[in-house]
Structure 1
Amino acid sequence: MARRRSSASAPADAELLLPRPPGVIRQFWARHPLFTDIVVAVIGFLIALTTAGPVGTGDADPGAAFHIVSMIIAIAAAASLMLRRRWPLLPYALAVLLQLVMLAYPSAAGSPLLILSMYAVAVYGSSRLCWIAYGVGMGAIAIVGGLGVLVGAVDLQAALNALLAAAVVALVGALVGINIGNRKRYLEAVIDRSRQLVVERDQQAQLAAAGERSRIAREMHDVVSHSLTVIVALSEGAAATSDAARARGAMEAAATTAREALAEMRTMLGVLRDGDLDAPLAPLAPVSPYDVVAAAQRAGYPATLVVTGAADLSDGAQYALGRIVQEGVTNAMRHAPSATGIRVSIEHGADATNVTVRNDRAEPSTAPGGFGLRGIAERTAHIGGTLSAGPDGAGGWELTASIPVTAPTPTSDPGSEDAS
């Protein structure tokens, strides 16, 4: 799992451009942590060998059993330093245990191991854990020393000297370790936060790209679907009539529709190629419902438009209104070619603008649903409106939408910003 996490963070680390640790020696230690652990353990082992042996205090020799026990504890404490990164309390507990054993016959054996283990607790644990371990360790030495004095097994001066020496040595290790450990944890937190920012930046870029693809697909569908439907209808009408003048007029209307579609696509694609970050994300002019109905009439469809009232709609609402009418009329032209009426009604009220596109003689379709209704549903929801579409119960099809006059501030949909 650690290897997987390391490989996952490698690209982020490459973009962070982290500086190398200063100094050749520090770089070497950073690249070879196992070798560092071995060196520390060997140093502790040598200290244990030289200081935990027989002591020349002038007192009676404590005996071979005492030397064997103290040497075993000292060697175990030194060996446990290799595990200090994972279990920092283990070498500290063994160092405190050695200090307790040496209360009977004072020696400096525990002091070097105590300072190394206390340092490890502060660096690889936490500052809070370090102070708790310091208090528990020194308290244990004080309690055991006090009990030894009470039973006469330990001299009072020797017990005080041992406690003071252990407290000072462990305090030095704690202070140095806390300073270095806090700096180490701070740098790790900064680097980890930087990694998160890089990952979040990439995720935001992916979301923006997905939203942009959705927006482009919606725009292309609106433009191409409506324009091609009108062009096909005009071309079929021109091919079916024997009147040269009517055929010429139909083809001219088809050419006009094609040019308008090309101009709208150039506007949209030109915005995508624009390097200006403040460039709008939608065509500059909203689609006019009058132009949509006029194009359907030129194609020979019985389309009518009735507008009631007036309202000052925002650019986003006007754009959505035009696209809703365009999609409704296009669907009627495509799925109801024999319709006797395509009626578009726009009613501007005080709070909302209601749009209705209704046609008769709708033919059932077995083809899978496209992106048109989904796209205008997203547009309508983006500005706080509602949309519904379905059979009207009389053999026709009806599309209704309600657009609020005052649209709320859009949120959460990066791909719907094209309506703003």
Structure 2
Amino acid sequence: MADSPAGEARVRQDADLALPRPPGVIRRFWARHPVFSDVLIALLCLMLSLAGISAGAVHAPWALSFAIVILVLAGCTSLLFRRRVPLLAFALAVALQMTVPFAPHGGAVALLIVSTYSLAVYGSNRLCVIAGVAGTLLVTAVSGGVAGVLHPDDALPQTMNTFFNTGLSVVLGALVGVNVGNRKRYLHAVIDRSRQLAIERDQQAELAAAAERERIAREMHDIVSHSLTVIVALAEGAGATPDAERARTAMAATAATARSALTDMRAMLGVLRSDDPEAPLAPLGSVSPADVVTAAQQAGFPVTLTTTGTAGLPPTIASAIGRIVQEGLTNAMRHAPRARSIPVRIDTHDDHVQITVTNDGATAPARAGGFGIRGLQERARLAGGTLESGPDGPGRWMLRADLPLAPPRQEDIA
């Protein structure tokens, strides 16, 4: 019911769906106050039933009249629970109708109509049909048997009269109830579907936000990690060399690297801001492997770049190649500062590109759980390729990625 905490929560949840208000002031009032409506219907049925039995049951024996009154009171009381147990009210209405052959009265008409209506609305159409047919046949059979014993000359007319009266009441309640029940179940199905779509929309928004956070984390890691590694190497070289000219060159390269990192950071954060009209709103472009290698060479590392193949690269693949080379050199500069050789190879074939970054200065296994390798694996997976990193002989470490030139299928990414 809407008066319960669960009903109030459901009303608030439906309000979030921006559903239109139900038409009609009375209908909205009854929908919001089901207990009041049930009490009102029960009292109305009680008055109609008592008025219906006053003409016939009062002339019956006192025991039968008492039983009829008890059935009326029980049937009207059961209407208070018709939403949860609609079959109970219908069974009591049928029992009250079965007393008609003993003391003719019309006290069960209102109960039959309302209880049959409740079966269709709060039960099901199938239950309404089965119960209606069974109840009508049962009342007709009892009426025929009683009339055959008490009034054998008028048995057939009385039986047919009871059959039509009972059937008409049941059919009237069933027709209204089936119509209202079908509409109610259809609206509930539409609301449930809307609620499901709202949940799926929120889930998709959360997934999109998580994917965007992962992308930003990858970009931020690549920018900050690589730039700071190069800056530290340049600053250490400038402080260690006695040559003033080389020191100035190193510091100039440090400043250039820092300015480039600031520019990339601003471009990266520009996609997150809506109050800066001058901030770029597009994600960062691809990083040139040649620029990354040049920066590492300026920091004093023995990096070489070898490229084969001349096939044009899609923007997604070009961006992934640049970031893979950048992260591979960052790891080499950080974990293999005394490497004598850091070769970088980019081999472009007809259908895929292979990127290899090796160094001969690895002294200890790489720390597990780093964000750099995990981010590169995510980049490779998004591009439809693979990436692996691990030892390549004594003192050597290798980072290898294989990216297809054809765009990946959606199921492959998933």
TM-score, normalised relative to structure 1? 0.88
- Offset of 1:259 from its aligned partner? 2.0
- Offset of 1:103 from its aligned partner? 2.6
Higher relative contact order (CA 8 A, sep 6+): 1
**3-state DSSP class of the match of 1:108?**
coil
From the superposition, tell whether residues 44 and 412 of structure 1 become closer, same or farther in structure 2 (CA, over 3 Å).
farther
Determine whether 1:90 maps to 2:88: yes
- Offset of 1:333 from its aligned partner? 0.2
- Offset of 1:88 from its aligned partner? 1.0
Q: Matches of 1:295 and 1:23 in 2, distance apart?
A: 74
Determine whether 1:257 maps to 2:257: yes
Which residue in 2 is equivalent to 1:100? Answer: 98
Which residue in 1 is equivalent to 2:78? Answer: 80
1:197 maps to a residue whose letter is: L
Which residue in 1 is equivalent to 2:210? Answer: 210
What per-residue deviation string (whole Å, max 9, x for no partner) do you get for residues 14-61 of structure 1?
A: 33344444444434323322122122222222333333356289xxx6
Q: Matches of 1:413 and 1:271 in 2, distance apart?
A: 24
- Structure 2, unmatched stretches of 5+, are none
Which residue in 2 is equivalent to 1:143? Answer: 141
Q: Matches of 2:369 and 2:126 in 1, distance apart?
A: 62
Q: Matches of 1:11 and 1:26 in 2, distance apart?
A: 19
**3-state DSSP class of the match of 1:273?**
coil
From the superposition, tell whether residues 12 and 166 of structure 1 become closer, same or farther in structure 2 (CA, over 3 Å).
same
From the superposition, tell whether residues 170 and 206 of structure 1 become closer, same or farther in structure 2 (CA, over 3 Å).
same
What per-residue deviation string (whole Å, max 9, x for no partner) do you get for residues 171-217 of structure 1?
A: 11111122222222223333333333333322222222222111111
Determine whether 1:32 maps to 2:33: yes
Which residue in 1 is equivalent to 2:341? Answer: 341
**3-state DSSP class of the match of 1:357?**
strand
1:390 maps to a residue whose letter is: G
Which residue in 2 is equivalent to 1:14? Answer: 15
- Structure 1, unmatched stretches of 5+, are 415-420
**3-state DSSP class of the match of 1:101?**
coil
Question: RMSD over aligned Cα, in angstroms?
Answer: 2.7
Q: Matches of 2:90 and 2:11 in 1, distance apart?
A: 35
After TM superposition, the structure 1 = structure 2 runs for residues 48-87 of structure 1, keeping only pairs within 5 Å, are 48-53=49-54, 55=56, 62-87=60-85
1:110 maps to a residue whose letter is: A
Determine whether 1:46 maps to 2:38: no
Which residue in 2 is equivalent to 1:184? Answer: 184
**3-state DSSP class of the match of 2:407?**
coil
Determine whether 1:116 maps to 2:117: no
Q: Matches of 2:127 and 2:341 in 1, distance apart?
A: 82
From the superposition, tell whether residues 6 and 30 of structure 1 become closer, same or farther in structure 2 (CA, over 3 Å).
closer
What per-residue deviation string (whole Å, max 9, x for no partner) do you get for residues 69-94 of structure 1?
A: 22222221111000101111110111
2:217 maps to a residue whose letter is: A
Q: Matches of 1:280 and 1:256 in 2, distance apart?
A: 24
Determine whether 1:327 maps to 2:331: no
Determine whether 1:283 maps to 2:289: no
What per-residue deviation string (whole Å, max 9, x for no partner) do you get for residues 266-291 of structure 1?
A: 22222333699xx986313x111111
Which residue in 1 is equivalent to 2:376? Answer: 376
- Offset of 1:9 from its aligned partner? 4.4
Q: Matches of 1:112 and 1:157 in 2, distance apart?
A: 23
**3-state DSSP class of the match of 2:272?**
helix
